[in-house]
Amino acid sequence: MPKGYLGVTIFPFMFLKTEDLKRNAVLINHERIHLKQQLELFVLPFYILYTIEFLCRLIQYKKWDLAYRNISFEREAYGHEKDLDYLKSRPLYNVFKFIRN
């Protein structure tokens, strides 16, 4: 697990830093949002877009954490991770509403 991260989702798997994190409903919801994003974009394009956007944000912000937090995929996941019913009503391709300059 990369330093500073509690979970990573690589479709169809969710990797958590520790076993007890399986009970963290907010973290699990965050990672499930990423699973939905990956499915919508047929997995490989998700990773390509995620990487490109991260690199653009890194150039823009010049700080790893700030760049990571401003990726549209992360903005959607962090913005809705506490809403445990979000995925039940989430519109298709909703992540694109989070793209900004």
- From first to last of the 101 residues of the chain, give the pLDDT tens digit: 778 899 999 999 999 999 999 999 999 999 999 999 999 999 999 999 999 999 999 999 999 999 999 999 999 999 999 999 999 999 999 999 999 86
Which amino acid appears at position 83 of this protein?
Answer: D
Q: Judge whether 1 lies within some domain.
A: no
Q: Judge whether 57 lies within some domain.
A: yes
Q: Judge whether 2 lies within some domain.
A: no
For residue 75, what are the domain limits? 7-98
Would you state the pLDDT for residue 101?
A: 67
The structural domain count of the chain equals: 1
CA dist., res. 54 & res. 19, Å (int):
28
CA dist., res. 28 & res. 24, Å (int):
6
Would you state the pLDDT for residue 1?
A: 74
Question: E strands along 1-101, which residues?
Answer: 7-10, 13-16
Phi, psi of 10 (to 5 degrees): -125, 105
Q: Judge whether 11 lies within some domain.
A: yes
- Residue length of the chain: 101
Would you state the pLDDT for residue 20?
A: 98
Q: Judge whether 71 lies within some domain.
A: yes
Instruction: Name the maximum alpha-carbon separation found in the chain.
Output: 37
E strand or H helix that includes residue 45 = helix 44-61
Assess contact for 16 and 6: CB atoms under 8 A.
yes
